[in-house]
Amino acid sequence: MSTTPPLLITGADIAGEGAADVLVVDGTIRAVGTDAGAEAPQGVSRLSVDGLVLLPGLVDLHTHLREPGREDAETVETGSQAAALGGFTAVLAMANTTPVTDSAEVAETVLDLGRRAGYVDVQPVGAVTKSLAGEELAELGLMARSRARVRVFSDDGRCVHDARLMRRALEYVKTFDGVVSQHAQDPRLADGSACCHEGELSGRLGLPGWPAVAEETIVARDVMLARHTGSRVHVAHVSTAGSVEVVRWAKAQGIAVTAEVTPHHLMLTEAELGGYDPTYKVNPPLRPVEDTLALREALADGTIDAVATDHAPHVRQDKEHAFADAAFGMLGLETALPVVSTTMVAEGRMTWADVARTMSSAPARIARLAHHGQGVVAGAPANLTLVDPTRTQTVDRARSRSLSRNNPWHGRELTGAVHLTMLRGQVTARQGLVWGADHEESHR
């Protein structure tokens, strides 16, 4: 994108902790404070944002961009645009593409596609096993040493269920400070047909059950393997109160475990499935309200480190089936912050500083993205998200920047809206519009 002039943002509420001015020069935050304007060079542009909250750019640990292989559902460019509209400046692209991101070559291809799009930094996630088959380790070292500098590895969509193989992966990634992100699903307790939380509702609906223990046993095993190896393990899309208990215990023991929760598991429950709408089919499944409440508490108290979207676009022909036959997954990039704002901030469970921690600094730290999540401080890259905390909006799936429409938030009113997103000083999205390479607004 083209070079932008210096910018002085005035009256910004920095992570909800007080107003200050922010001077951005050459893609970097030059100064923060009431006197930031005194350092402004000649010709500086000014943006008055009184009443808006300024956050460090959001980072998503868990995004499915589908390219290469399923460009009909999403491309790196359209997914990047959706991410920018959602306030993100970096996303981690999961490995279940076609071909699978299990080699340095594919990882570098995804990296280059992200750079070409230019809306967010796209960091490839490498597969743990070749072809996600769970039988042989992928090229972990080669991906780590490639131009993509892969540090997060996951077979997401499938569990690394072989304990010996998981141990070897943890030992391997430790050598370059990597992390394995586990899709915790014991296939002997919840196989590929399992699609609904196992309980009274699954029995009444006649849907194959996905019991909480299928997640919890893998989480428990993996934190013990992390303790044994001294390596880092990350639990993807935690969905049960039992998993929260395991992660809380592991952290108290000093085990290097981190965890994420999705916006949909924070707000939605299994009750959504009563109408058999496949939009709500997701893996892991939506759980009972007691699990949802436990996840909210765990995010607020720091047991769960990060919010991650698990943005999973699908074309209509993959979703519009009987519930049991439909594809897993739902959209999340454009609505993640409003969902967190509505569920956690508006309800008094979290502050905007907590949002900055769980949606920027913590995910950047977990992914080892050094140029993200540094906060709104002098010297940091100007990766910034400006939020209107009181604006309400009714979600319209037809207006999504994603190529897909499997949006569970359609018709819902959410509080809190992204006003502007900036990547290294360049505006990438503003007031619901994506800014193109020539800095002109691109309408939906």
Neighbours of 112 (CB within 10 A): 15
Per-position b or e across 346-372, b if 16+ CB within 10 A of its CB:
beebbebbbbbbbbbbbbbbbbbbeeb
Q: What whole-number distance in Å separates Cα of residue 236 and Cα of residue 250?
A: 15
Nearest to 209 by CA among 222, 223, 194: 194
Q: What whole-number distance in Å separates Cα of residue 439 and Cα of residue 432?
A: 14
Residue 279 tokens, joined: 């939009």
CB 428 within 8 A of CB 119: yes
The residue written with tokens 């932008």 in the block is 4
Q: Any idea what the Cα angle at residue 174 is, between residues 168 and 180, rounded to 5°?
A: 65
Q: Residue 122's beta-bridge partner residues?
A: 91
Choice among 155, 310, 318, 354 that is catalytic: 310
What does the DSSP 8-state code read for residue 402?
S
- Long-range pairs for 324-327 at CB < 8 Å and ≥24 separation? 324/193, 324/195, 324/207, 324/208, 326/278, 326/281, 327/278, 327/281
Does residue 310 have an active-site annotation? yes
Asked if the bond preceding 389 is cis, omega within 30° of 0, the reply is: no
Q: What whole-number distance in Å separates Cα of residue 192 and Cα of residue 342?
A: 33
Nearest to 314 by CA among 298, 325, 302, 300: 325
65: left (phi over 0), alpha (psi -120 to 50) or beta: alpha
Nearest to 182 by CA among 110, 255, 251, 258: 258
Which is it for strands 7-14 and 19-25: parallel, antiparallel or unpaired? Answer: antiparallel
CB 56 within 8 A of CB 356: yes
The residue written with tokens 């992928």 in the block is 138
Neighbours of 134 (CB within 10 A): 17
CB 367 within 8 A of CB 59: yes
Q: Which positions are catalytic?
A: 310
